[in-house]
Amino acid sequence: MQSCAKSWVILFAKSVNPHAPCRHICGINRIFGKLQNRIQTRNAFVTVRGLRTSAVYAASRQIDRILPRHDDFAERHIGPGEREKREMLDVLGLESIAQLIEDTVPESIRIQRSMKMDDPLCENEVLEHLQKIASKNKVWRQNKRRTFYIDPRCHPQTIAVVQTRANYIGVKTVLKLPHEMDFSGKDVSGVLFQYPDTDGRVEDFTALVDRAHKGGALACCATDLLALCVLRPPGEFGVYRLALQTREQHIRRDKATSNICTAQALLANMAAMFGVYHGPQGLKHIAERTHNAALILAEGLKRAGHRLHSEMFFDTLKVSCSVAAKDILERAVQREINLRVYGEGVLGVSLDETVTERDLDDLLWVFGCESSAELIAEKMGERVKGIMGSPFKRTSKYLTHTIFNSYHSETNIVRYMKRLENKDISLVHSMIPLPITWNEFANLHPFCPLDQAEGYQQLFRQLEKDLCEVTGYDKISFQPNSGAQGEYAGLAAIKAYLNSKGDAHRTVCLIPKSAHGTNPASAQMAGMKVQVVEVDKDGNIDMANLKALVDKHKANLAAMMITYPSTFGVFEESIGDVCNLIHQNGGQVYLDGANMNAQVGLCRPGDYGSDVSHLNLHKTFCIPHGGGGPGMGPIG
């Protein structure tokens, strides 16, 4: 303490002139007298660089020595005490702090009057004064915003995903058209709309976004990136762009807002190289060609007597048929074309960059138009404007980086990719399993009728049979596209099962401390409350701690998530006892399948008590971690 105090004072003295030696200071009586005039009460003090002159001169008063202050809290906790100050002054060869001030602070800058401050207050007076100040603040209720609007013209699958995710975190989703949405309350957190919408319509959402922001809500837009090459981007409506990594790198366990784990690097690389190869002009050309094809088809449909639901569209048309929709669908079957059926004589058709003149001719024939695409285009002439002749035309630049404007020949793009390849692992360094690219597998539309995908159905059935045999489970769902989404789907299934039994109050999920970070993230996303189970130094579950937690939460126990073998690579002998304990107390067991490949042929989760698992078919189940996807995380 002494050495520190000495060093501090020497540094303080030299701070006036760091290059000058410490000098003796005189004139203490003059400064002392000035300070004495400024001090109003015995509690007043002056602080100079941390050295407190709390009635510096008061210690010399006989009354203060006989009746020392009792409220010495500050003396003990703020700055040096009298002994430390005396030692520091002795080192400097000074008699008092006043003398230090006299020779340290230039007289020209010293305050020549008393400071204009309020009189000091005792503790009770301070509290009373503070209460008066606090009473001027208005503490109003700050309600959590638990309502989220969805424009019903979003894609059905998008709506379903949002509803599922919102359901387990207590957010109410409401389907309303923009003009029906009310943001005047304080319960709406955001709104989701689609641009262009699921029916192909293009409209201006500026007013909607403005109303949402004024009401304190966020605006989210689902969009078609190809369309945005010619359409005004949502950012010009006031919507923020959201850019994410292909893998979540900062999982915060049960505090996370995402449980993403799978790296969809393959898909990201394909999209990136597509943009690099074509560049902004090439992408605009593709978008314009797609849009022009839709314009030609729309003109032909109108000539055939059909009615379009919107005159402003990009590549999708919603059509009220002038003849029986059944007849049109029968003609579509003859040309092997799938149309979207809305019902009540309304059909939908979507085009893309692969559409040819022959495809347009077939569609025109299906809808009963006697003209060909060529004849319609010739008659339209320069009137083919659509978006390009409307206020929705994009005028802002995009993909301006040099990378997107340099490699537009096959030679250049291959060389560029080769340079990138040499910086990372690739097929030239090791085996990476890739999806089958046969036309019969790669080019089926995900929403095509089941009778057009019997090959896929056979694969699904055979794979389900094999996986049920491997795991000991009764059924397999192939819907999740990653292990993390498998976790979420599995926990959602457990929640639905408990709800069906009248156990909706069961929301506690037990998770070992050593569990993968996605486990607690998935649990909180499914609306569960995470309780951490202790593990020993080898990663084994602490059975005593587990039993205590189960006993404490048995009335509300929903599930336990466990990785097996453990993250330490150990097959815990107590796994059967763990599963039985959870079942006996009304819960379900979720087994993380990240290490499932270590069990194949040796043991089966369904046999030793697990109820649900996900399987990383794209990753640790059968290929090296980080194979790049696409993801496949079925649950059993």
Sketch the domain layout of the chain as residue ranges. 2-126, 270-389, 450-613
State both tokens at 182.
Answer: 């009310």
Q: Kindly report which listed range (353-367, 421-435, 482-496) carries the lowest average pLDDT score.
A: 421-435
| Residue 62 pLDDT grade (very low, low, confident, very high; cuts 50, 70, 90) | low
Q: Looking at the predicted structure, is the pLDDT value of residue 438 above 80?
A: no
Q: Kindly report which listed range (129-133, 161-165, 470-474) carries the lowest average pLDDT score.
A: 129-133
| Beta strands 529-533; 557-563: pairing state | unpaired
Q: What are phi and psi of 549, to 5 degrees?
A: -65, -40
What local confidence, expressed as pLDDT, does residue 441 receive?
Answer: 74
Q: Evaluate whether 249 touches 512 at the Cβ level (below 8 Å).
A: no
Q: Evaluate whether 319 touches 351 at the Cβ level (below 8 Å).
A: no
DSSP string, 285-303: HHHHHHHHHHHHHHHHHHH
Local structure of 244: helix, strand or coil? coil
Residue 589 is inside which H or E element, if any? Answer: strand 588-592
Over range 363-390, report the average pLDDT: 87
Q: Where are the alpha helices (DSSP H) in 355-398?
A: 357-366, 373-380
CATH number of 270-389: 3.90.1150.10
What local confidence, expressed as pLDDT, does residue 305 receive?
Answer: 94
Q: Evaluate whether 28 touches 96 at the Cβ level (below 8 Å).
A: yes
Residue 307 is inside which H or E element, if any? Answer: strand 307-308
User: Can you list the positions of beta strands (E) in 47-163?
Assistant: 47-48, 51-52, 147-150
Select from 236, 230, 213, 234 the least CA-distant residue to 222: 234
| Residue 185 pLDDT grade (very low, low, confident, very high; cuts 50, 70, 90) | confident
Q: Looking at the predicted structure, is the pLDDT value of residue 594 above 60?
A: yes
Select from 382, 374, 341 the least CA-distant residue to 357: 374
Over range 267-285, report the average pLDDT: 91
CATH number of 450-613: 3.40.640.10
Q: Kindly report which listed range (241-255, 407-421, 422-436) carries the lowest average pLDDT score.
A: 241-255
What local confidence, expressed as pLDDT, does residue 186 receive?
Answer: 83
Q: What is the mean pLDDT of the chain?
A: 80
